[in-house]
Amino acid sequence: MSQLTISIIDDDDSVRQALGSLVRSLGFAAALFGSAEQFIEAGGVKASAVVVTDVQMPGMNGVDLQDRLRREGHTVPMIFITAFPEEALRKRAFAAGACCFLGKPFDGDIMIRCIEAALSPDTPIY
């Protein structure tokens, strides 16, 4: 059985590295990207079981990435993280099928529950 990949997209290297360590500790592979554009260029969506993305990034933001992926027919579960939680973006993300929308900083246990929710349709979302 192949290992599931969790893609992490954040312009903050320390956040990417910390989340990468967390998902690897859970037995998943971690694919790290510094921008939504890098994720798209690398074809990251094809290998992703779940995408964890920052909302506010230079260039394409996380919610715009979600919109693009949905337009292209990709239904990969998405978890959003942000230091600047805006209700309008939160509503837009959930309307397009987001699993979780977390404000930074967040507890690792909450992220674990979000990943579990993303991988299991029977688990409640946050």
pTM of the model: 0.92
| CATH number of the domain located at residue range(s) 5-119 in this protein | 3.40.50.2300
- pLDDT per residue of the chain (126 residues) written in tens, 0 to 9: 458 999 999 999 999 999 999 999 999 999 999 999 999 999 999 999 999 999 999 999 999 999 999 999 999 999 999 998 888 888 989 988 899 999 999 999 999 999 999 998 665 555
Closest CA to 23 of 42, 9, 44, 38: 9
